[in-house]
Amino acid sequence: MLKKIILLLCLLLMLSGTALAVTDDASFSYKGIKLGDDYQAMTEKIGNPRFDLSKLVAGTMVTYYVYKDDTKIGLDTIQNRVVDMQIGNKNYVDAHGIQIGATPYKMQSIYGKSIKTMLGGKIFYIYMNGKNKQEKLLLQLDPDQGYLTGFRITNLIIDENSDIKKSDADLDQPVNPDDVNTIYMGSKDIDTSRVKTSQ
């Protein structure tokens, strides 16, 4: 009887967190691109992007490469490694057959029960890679009906208050207002595709 109670308590503690562990690597890749891949591996697998834009994410400059279907692959500008993938392809089907429009029942029957978590005003089910706890799969949900509206795969640290940040240590870094890399645009991006440069 005592063993059953302890087992039940352990199970409840595991399910009480906002993120559950998923152990297969296929859930943490997009068309063969994995977190930690470089630019060359990205372009070999899905081709050249239409354009790129850089964005400061809590002290770390991330360059997002944007594709025709609005998929954004973010590379840490210093290490030149994939740190974030926001899948914009509305026809994308993941390794488990989950696609845009999937019901909460379908998502949780594949990945396990999860608690809805709000990040940056959006609602997600969050799953961690059981083999690498920094890698996360975020399934964005419709706020009213709860069906799947988007996929995000990231190893940026999740912060419930300010969407996503790279590292707690980044927040302790002094900010130099004269450094162009410290400009934070929030959720706005500047389209520089029409800017003429003299060459």
Quick check: 27 and 96 in contact, CB under 8 A?
Answer: yes
pLDDT beyond 70 at 59 = no
Sign of CA dihedral 19, 42, 68, 94: negative
Instruction: Give pLDDT, residue 7.
Output: 45
Domains in the chain with CATH codes: 18-170 (2.60.460)
Which amino acid belongs to residue 18? T
Q: DSSP string of 38-76?
A: -HHHHHHHH---SEEEEEEETTEEEEEEEPTTS-EEEEE
Span 94-104, pLDDT tens digits: 999 999 999 99
Q: 84 or 199, which is more confident?
A: 84
Using 50, 70 and 90 to split pLDDT, how confident is the model at 146?
A: very high
Q: How confident is the model at residue 173 (pLDDT cuts 50, 70, 90)?
A: very low
Residue 58's pLDDT band, with cuts at 50, 70 and 90, is low
Judge if pTM exceeds 0.75. no
| Structure token digits, residue 159 | 């912060």
| Sequential DSSP letters for the chain | -HHHHHHHHHHHHHHTSSEEEE--GGGGEETTEETT--HHHHHHHH---SEEEEEEETTEEEEEEEPTTS-EEEEETTTTEEEEEEE--TT-B-TTS-BTT--HHHHHHHH-----EEETTEEEEEEEETTEEEEEEEEEE-TTT--EEEEEEE-SEEETTTEEES-GGGGGSPP-TT-GGG---TT-----TT-----
Residue 16, pLDDT above cutoff 50: no
The pLDDT-based confidence of 5 (bands split at 50, 70, 90) is very low
User: CA-to-CA distance for 136 and 152, rounded, in angstroms?
Assistant: 8
pLDDT at 105 over 60: yes
Lookup result for tokens 């396990």: 112
Q: Which residue has the higher pLDDT, 132 or 180?
A: 132
